[in-house]
Amino acid sequence: LAACGSVPAPDGPPGSDVGHVTFASGDAVFRIEARTGASPENLSARLTAGSRAADRRVNLSPAGTRYVFETGNLGCETGTCLAIAPVADLGAATLVRVGGAPIDTAESRSAVDDGGSLVVFAATGGPHERDLYATRDDGGGWTAPVLLTADSPYAWNDTPSLSADASHVLFDCGPTANAGAGGSICEVGTDGSELGVVITPDDAPAGTTDAGPLHHAVYDGEDVVFEAAWDGERIWRMGGAGLAPIADGANNDNSPCVLPDGRIASVYLGRDGNTSGRHELKVMAADGSAPLMLVLDRDLTDEGLGCGP
């Protein structure tokens, strides 16, 4: 691992409360402490022994008590089943089944609440090309999915991120797939109410020469932290202080999440000297200072990170 920048990055010995970040690489999912000297923990290796299918698109619940991920294991026959697990007991991982059938995640990351009783996921079969749905464990099994994005003005709705109280969800919304041209950020209640468009490329600051798409938004208290392709790919914040880029000026900075201490983790491809082309994990202060590069021996899949204690 290597640090960049002249300001020391937040640090701590093994076991200190510096937070964790989850990510995917290849066909496995991982967790790593957000500190100098940390080594990634292969979560997939603990799920099942022997021959394995892929695990992908891991996310954490708002307070970091539950994992949600896509898997071809645990009895999944399609290779893209939705699964959850307690962070404290990965061996208790289970597929989310509605009426006995596992949910296909339509190749988009999902979100889970801290109690493991609410899951928001993207799927086909609704009024749009892709829609968000919510299912709840009511004690007797998972309920029939409730369509959340019926009123969305966009054809593509995916990549959900839950608020701390699990009452609302931010998500990618746009006219094209994979946060392409016109990609925006929307929000909806987890009961399907209050759907609205939060920010679009048209909201780019004056003077922006390339107002590209937005995606991977997460809550940071009352603020929203997201990636925008506005004169390069950078992390931005929208909140009480207005709209502003995270100040380190880094380009090719993607898919943020916010650690409990306020630091921001991102998938980064722009480190000086990174000739391998690998997507690396960067952790920086809330204002973009003190960047810490966690230089891993693998390429991160740029489909989102999860942050938690």
Question: What are the two backbone dihedrals, phi and then psi, of residue 203, each rounded to the nearest 5 degrees?
Answer: -90, 5
Contact (CB, 8 A) for 280 and 294: yes
Inter-CA distances, 146 with 99, 189, 220, 277, Å: 14, 11, 26, 41
Three-state secondary-structure class, residue 239 = strand
Q: Which three-class secondary structure string do you get for 170-203?
A: EEEEECCCCCCCCCEEEEEECCCCCCEEEECHHH
- Give the DSSP letter of residue 148: S
289 CB-near residues (< 8 Å, 6+ apart): 5, 7, 247, 248
Helix, strand, coil % over all residues of the chain, rounded to 5: 5, 45, 55
Number of Cβ within 10 Å of residue 119's Cβ equals 27
Residue 7: Cβ-neighbour burial (10 angstroms; 0-12, 13-18, 19+): exposed
Q: What is the pLDDT of residues 28-71, one digit of tens each?
A: 999 999 999 999 999 999 886 555 899 999 999 999 999 999 99
Output the pLDDT for position 17: 76
Question: What are the two backbone dihedrals, phi and then psi, of residue 97, each rounded to the nearest 5 degrees?
Answer: -115, 135
The list of the chain residues with pLDDT below 70 reads 1-16, 48-51, 272-276
Output the pLDDT for position 271: 76
